[in-house]
Amino acid sequence: MAKIKTIIDGIEVEVERDSWAIDVARELGIDIPTLCYHPALGPYGACRLCVVEVTKSKWTWLATACDLPIREELSIKTNTPEVIRSRKMAMELIMARAPRAESLFPLAEKLGVTKPRFKCRDDIGNCILCGLCVRMCDQIIGVSAINFANRGHKRIVTTPLHKKADKCIGCNVCVEVCPTGHVKTLDDGSFRHMQTWDADLEMLHCLICDKPYIPAKQFKVISDKLEGIELKRICPVCRRKETVDNLRYAVVEKVS
Amino acid sequence: MPKLGTINELTAYAQELKAQCDPSKPCVTVCGGTGCRANHGLEVASMFEKLLKEKGVCDDIDVRTTGCHGFCAQGPLVVLVPKGVLYVSVKPTDVEEIITSSVQADEIIERLTYRLPGTKKRIAKEEEIPFYANQKRLVFAGSTKMDPTRIEDYIAVGGYSSFRKVLSGVEPEEIIDWVEKSGLRGRGGGGFQTGRKWRSCRKSQAATKYVICNGDEGDPGAFIDRSIMEGNPHSVLEGMAIGAYAIGSNHGYIYVRLEYPLAIENLQIAIEQAREHGLLGDNILGTDFSFDILISRGAGAFVCGESTALMASIEGFVGEPRAKHIHTTEKGLFGMPTNLNNVETWANIPLIIEKGWQWFAGIGSKNSKGTKVFSVVGKVRNTGLVEVPMGITLREIIYDICGGVPDNRKFKGVQTGGPSGGCLPEEKLDLQVDFDCLTEAGSMMGSGGMIVMDDRSCMVEVARYFTEFLTRESCGKCTACREGVMQMLEILDRMTTGKAEMSDIDLLEEVCLYVKENSICGLGKSAPNPTLSSLKYFRDEYLEHIEHKRCRAGICRDLTTFIISDDKCKACGKCIKSCPVEAITGQKKVTHVIDYDACISCGVCREVCPFDAVDTK
Amino acid sequence: MNNIQEKPDLTEVERIIAKYNGKDSWLVMILQDIQEAYNYLPEPTLELVAEKLNIPLSRVHSVATFYSSLSLQERGRHVIRVCDGTACHLKGFVNLRDEIERQTGLTEGQTTPDKRFSFEVVACLGACAIAPVMSVGNDYHGEMSAEKIKDVLSKYK
């Protein structure tokens, strides 16, 4: 594959054709803020925070780095006044949408937003529609228990027909990727409650320590994916212990 | 009808159909466009059929329900061929007289002829009416003469001869050369060079390629593509077939919005007829070129006019656009190279092939070639569709062709390009209408909607209207458009209800510029245009709304107080009768009075007052 | 009657899906056809579509709520659509809308309890030359005014 020359903040690099600008910049240690990009997922371009200034011959324009493929020589700047202004406005709009999303406060402050000048919403919780949960559930987990509904400013993330998410396997990936803590879960003994998706999942207990550790549905999905290889019903803690024990045993044996 | 197996068979068939046409045979054409249909145009047509049959002359006189004639303000329209006499606002009860006096005899029925507004002059000949005389009808030429549900009509007037020509051995590259040299630019909004798009799609290597016709004309105020699809569907199919041949595609889609049932019906009929005649399908006319077209119906989403959203919709997903750094000509529908053009663009292709690129390049302005169809609506006399050469001025369209603003009102502005376009003031009336001039002035061509506004249109409210439309139609994917446009609306709402502060103007401008530069797709990028252009040209109205809490047009209810003038009121009682909240009182010979406790400032009284006695305080 | 509402006859859905060869790319059209047949999109039809097309129900729901012509709510026998296209807007849409609201007691998106009317505001009916326009079912009514509304509506029982 042909390498393409490109310049980011004055640093000249050669990259694979169609590398995403955000990956290239991050590899160079250049910080680009984003709330909707995840390397495991394809580009999406929803939050608009990763905006950079792109110059190609005599043209200069703003583009989001997460969905900008490098396929010809570009000069990219990540820190111009225009970029700073755009990111600030994007953050301001996001904060007006989710004014109580505390996890965003440090980033907002860094981008120069303290109090949005706009009318703030208070009817939608902390969801900023980054789509990470939806895309993870669909593209990585392969379950698609949740999705967007409606369009425009009425868009929400929800379960099919707004009912209990019966496809949800309780893997908690949506909770982990959510940048604002909007998606909530609660483990309560034998059950995992996916509170945001109104799903209650029965937990399986570890065969060694007997602690509940994985929803039965998730266990089944993983087992099915392994196609015949047996998945031991052991929690991560016990598995680690077992692995260490096995190693130690192996080492002892070798020494003796 | 036998399937045409070779190019020669098509040639012979066309000659045969042409020979059958007797240009001197009387024919009554009735406009079957949506406007005329809503005014009972089809009842007029069936009355003609019924009466001609009763009189036993239905073999001597044809009746044809055609596509839209464009003169919608005067519908239902009836044109007598070959005399060229146009009757307007025809009712089923007029039909008997038309047949006996004007078809079977040579009299003109004065009262059914067109009257020049503001005069007593009546014009009987269609071609002499300024509305028609000042147009240049190319794309629309066929619609008014043919029955769109008969492929024979289309072939008889030379239809599919361009397709025949290219299949007779023109190299695909050469066709693309012609289209490129003709200077044809996309009629859907962006104005991209059609030939260049075709070339880049041809260059993309893939086993499957697609051509798409974008018939998702969602701009409120535009119905150009609708009329072409309804009135001349075969011209679209022929254009697509030629394009597919040039690009190397065998699969076509037409994406039509559900709100256009007649367009869908006529296209479906046309596709089936083209298949039956061997003009679509495998090994067309015995060549090794195969091509077929499927219809995909939109389901009510303006954003699907955006190419990547449209493709997502055809694939069975929500219409969410994506960034277009990788062009759809490389990776489009189902991940394959795809060439998308809009209806009017496709309909121009057969003309360019038939008459030559030189001919086409000779029409229009420097960088915008050919003609453009506009739907001129709003506060203008002759609402309807007009086709004019690019480069003509706004004044020529609005005044010379469309007769200017009615009811002695004053022209205030014209909105071109729908929700993506801008509002231009009176000073810009002499602006040349083409892609570049409109963009330079802060508006855009869009798909050709042209909405005329008078002094009773509030520019702030118009900006608010478009912005509200866009908050509903935004797909909701990106922050810039979803949140930005919503905040624009929030500010505009404050302005139209008297709650805004001066600092809101700066904030509005700032967020507008942000949305313009930072949205994913064309919908968001152009969403601030109506607001930005009116801020540029009608800033004083904004200031008036904020500072003086006044709406000079009398539209923003919270900022409007109506008053009935003592001098002008003739105490006719019309306003009393039509007031929806019974807020007006009065008797014969006594000036009517508005009860402000009950009045909701809806302005119905002002609309109905025949003496202009109701005005804003 | 209640039973029918809870469990609609789904054979029509199967027929529609078969017409499109069960291909998920025709999802938008399939939903339109189902709505045509059932007047709206009852939940069991969506569940069946997901199953037959072998796609997640979440995608079907997402599409069904994205496009404004698709409705998950049961609608009236006659759908009143008032056009809020630009030309209609300038020529008195607001007064038409208010009058329809007064006459029917409905606001946008609602259906009368007797299922006679549903009321929708639409972006553009594409009949701008005869603005302001409304449609009831498939009939267009052009050059409307608030005064004419009562007459027009009375034709639809």
List domains and CATH numbers for chain A. 3-80 (3.10.20.740), 132-242 (no CATH)
Q: Does B394 lie in the same domain as B292?
A: no
What residues are paired with B614 via a beta bridge?
B564
* Domain-located, residue B135: no
Cross-chain Cβ contact B38/C131 below 8 Å:
no
Within a domain: B320: yes
Query: Which residues in chain C are closer than 8 Å to B457, comparing Cβ atoms?
Result: 90
B579 pLDDT higher than 80: yes
Q: C11: domain range?
A: 2-66
Answer yes or no: do B390 and B473 share one domain: no
Q: Does residue C44 belong to the interface with chain B, where contact is any CB pair within 8 Å?
A: no
Nearest to B478 among A46, A117, A151 (CB): A46
Q: How far out from the chain centre does Cα B15 lie?
A: 34
Residue B13 in domain = no
Burial B427-452 (b: 16+ CB within 10 A, else e): ebbebbbbbbbbbebbbbbbbbbbbb
Instruction: Tell me phi and psi for residue B508, to 5 degrees.
Output: -60, -45
For residue C42, is it within any domain?
yes
**Res B418: pLDDT:** 85
How many structural domains are present in chain C? 2
φ/ψ (deg, to 5) at B549: 50, 50
Q: What does the block give as tokens for A252?
A: 């002892």
Say if CB B33 and CB B193 are below 8 A apart.
no
B93 φ/ψ sector (left φ>0, alpha ψ -120 to 50, else beta) = alpha
Tell me if chain A has a CB within 8 Å of the CB of C51.
Answer: no
- SS3 at position A64: strand
Higher per-residue pLDDT: A255 or B562: B562
Residues of chain A with Cβ-Cβ distance to C56 below 8 Å are: 138, 143-145, 147, 160, 167
- Residue B476 and residue A155: Cβ atoms within 8 Å? yes
Q: What string of DSSP letters covers chain C? A: -HHHHHS---HHHHHHHHHTTT-GGGHHHHHHHHHHHHSS--HHHHHHHHHHHT--HHHHHHHHHHSTT--SS---SEEEEEE-SHHHHHTTHHHHHHHHHHHH---TT-B-TTSSEEEEEES--S-GGG-S-EEETTEEE-S--GGGHHHHHHT--
Same-domain check for residues B489 and B375: no
pLDDT tens digits for range B168-220? 999 999 999 999 999 999 998 778 999 999 999 999 999 999 999 999 988 88
Neighbours of A250 (CB within 10 A): 10
Domain limit, last residue, from B361, B393, B428 = B361
At B518-568, the pLDDT tens digits run 999 999 999 999 999 999 999 999 999 999 999 999 999 999 999 999 999
- Chain C, 100-129: which have a CB under 8 Å from a chain B CB? 102, 122-129
Task: Domain of residue B341: give its range.
Answer: 151-361
pLDDT (average), residues B241-262: 95
Q: Does residue B1 register a pLDDT over 70?
A: no
Q: What pLDDT is recorded for position B408?
A: 87
In this predicted structure, the answer to whether residue A182 has a pLDDT above a threshold of 90 is yes
What pLDDT shows up at residue A162? Answer: 94
Q: Are residues C58 and C83 in the same domain?
A: no
Phi first, then psi, for residue B561 (nearest 5°) are -125, 125
Q: Which residues of B touch A129 (CB under 8 A)?
A: 476-477, 479, 482
Give the whole-angstrom CA distance, residue B78 versus residue B101.
14
A65 reaches B (C-beta below 8 A): no
What is the least distance, in Å, from the CA of B384 to any CA of chain C?
5
Residue A149 is nearest to which of C43, C50, C62, comparing CB atoms?
C62
**Separation CA B24–CA B29 (nearest Å):** 14
| C93 and C121 co-located in one domain | yes
Burial class (CB in 10 A: 0-12, 13-18, 19+), B113: middle
AA identity, residue B173: E
Task: Collect all residues of chain A within an 8 Å Cβ-Cβ radius of residue B517.
Answer: 61-62, 86
Residues B406 and B515 both lie in one domain: no
Identify all chain B residues contacting A104, using CB atoms and an 8 Å cutoff: none
Record: contact B451-C146, CB cut-off 8 A: no
* C43 and C110 together in one domain: no
Q: Do B313 and C98 touch (CB under 8 A)?
A: no
Mark which of B520, B547, B574 sits at the end of a domain: B547
Based on the domain organization, do B73 and B54 belong to the same domain? yes
* Residue C109 and residue C41 in one domain: no
A-proximal residues of B, 248-287, CB under 8 Å = none
DSSP summary character for residue B317: S
Per-residue pLDDT for A79 more than 50? yes
The shortest CB-CB distance from C123 to any of B34, B297, B469 is to B469
Residue C24 has its nearest CB partner, among B223, B316, B418, at B316
Instruction: Judge if B348 and B235 occupy the same domain.
Output: yes
Residue B12 lies in a domain: no
Whole-number CA gyration radius for chain A: 23
Q: Does C59 lie in the same domain as C87?
A: no
B522 within domain boundaries? yes
pLDDT at C17: 97
A119-133, B329-343, C121-135: which range is least confident on average? C121-135
Taking alpha carbons only, the member of B583, C132, B455, B567 closest to residue B575 is B583
C67 phi, psi to nearest 5 deg: -90, 130
**Could you tell me if B356 and B384 lie in one domain?**
no
Q: What is the mean pLDDT of residues A176-196?
A: 95
State how many domains chain B has. 5
The token pair that represents A247 in the structure block: 């190693």
Look at residue C132 and tell me if it is in a domain.
yes
Q: How many CB pairs under 8 A join B and C?
A: 160
B226–C126 C-beta distance less than 8 A: yes
Q: CA-nearest residue of chain B to C60?
A: B317
| Dihedral angle over CA of B245, B246, B249, B254, nearest 10 | -80
- Do C115 and C59 share a structural domain? no
Domain boundary among B361, B386, B411: B361
Asked whether this complex has an ipTM greater than 0.90, the answer is yes
Selecting from A47, A68, A152 the residue whose C-beta is nearest the C-beta of B325 gives A68
Answer yes or no: is pLDDT of B51 > 50: yes
Which of B325, B471, B472 would you mutate first to test chain A, the one with the most A CBs within 10 A? B325
What one-character-per-residue DSSP string does B480-502 give?
Answer: HHHHHHHHHHHHHHHHHTT---T
B2 lies in some domain: no
Token match 């208070």: residue?
Answer: A122
pLDDT (0 to 100) of residue A249: 77
- B200 and B336 part of one domain: yes
Q: Which residues pair with A3 in a beta bridge?
A: A16
Q: How far apart are CA A17 and CA A15, in angstroms?
A: 6
Same domain, B161 and B261: yes
Of the candidates C11, C33, C66, which is a domain's last residue? C66
pLDDT confidence tier of residue A225, bands split at 50, 70 and 90: confident
Q: Is A154 on the interface with B (CB under 8 A)?
A: yes
In Å, what is the CA distance from B258 to each residue of B350, B468, C70?
Answer: 26, 22, 11
Asked if C24 and C59 sit in the same domain, the reply is yes
- Through-space distance between the first and last CA atoms of chain C, rounded to whole angstroms: 21
Whether C91 is in a domain gets the answer: yes
Q: How far is C119 from chain B (nearest CA, A)?
A: 16
Chains in touch with B (≥3 Cβ pairs < 8 A):
A, C
Same domain (yes/no): C93, C138: yes
Tokens 């009317």, located at residue: C117
Structure tokens at C104: 């029917």
A39 shares contact with chain B (CB less than 8 Å)? no
Calpha distance B375→B369 (Å, rounded): 19
Contact A160 C65 (CB under 8 A): no
State the average pLDDT for chain A.
93
Task: Answer yes or no: do B449 and B464 share one domain.
Answer: no
Give the separation between CA A31 and CA B447, rounded to whole angstroms. Answer: 42
The reported pLDDT for the residue numbered A256 is 57
What single string gives the DSSP state of each residue in A84-101? HHHHHHHHHHHHHHSTT-
Domain assignment present for residue C140? The answer is yes
**Local confidence band at C4 (pLDDT 50, 70, 90 cut-offs):** very low
Is B553 contained in some domain? no
- pLDDT value, residue A244: 86
Chain B residue with the nearest C-alpha to that of C100: B580
> What is the band of C6 on the pLDDT scale with cuts at 50, 70, 90?
low
Of C13, C38, C66, which closes a domain?
Answer: C66
DSSP classification of residue B185: B
Domain end residue (candidates: C66, C91, C119): C66
Closest-CA residue to A135 (of B336, B522, B308, C56): C56
CA-based nearest distance C147→chain A, Å? 34
Is a pLDDT exceeding 50 seen at residue C1?
no
Residues C58 and C84 grouped into a single domain: no
Tokens 């999705």 — which residue? Answer: A147
Asked if residue C84 and residue C62 are part of one domain, the reply reads no
Chain B residues within 8 A of C146 when measuring between CB atoms: 578, 580, 604
Query: Is residue C44 located within the same domain as residue C83?
Result: no
Instruction: Give per-residue pLDDT as tens, A16-54.
Output: 999 999 999 999 999 999 999 999 998 999 999 999 999
Contact yes or no for B487 and A119 at CB 8 A:
yes
Q: What CATH number has the domain bearing residue B571?
A: 3.30.70.20
Residues B387 and B531 in one domain: no
The number of residues in chain A equals 256
Tell me the pLDDT of chain B averaged across its residues.
94
pLDDT, position A254: 66
- Considering the domain architecture, whether residues B435 and B532 belong to the same structural domain is answered as no
Residue showing tokens 């640093």:
A11
Domain membership flag for residue B140? no
Q: Which residue of B has its CA nearest to C122?
A: B300
Quick one: tokens of A114?
Answer: 């303290």
CATH number of the domain encompassing residue C117: 3.40.30.10
Residue A139 has pLDDT above 90, yes or no: yes
- pLDDT recorded at residue A164: 93
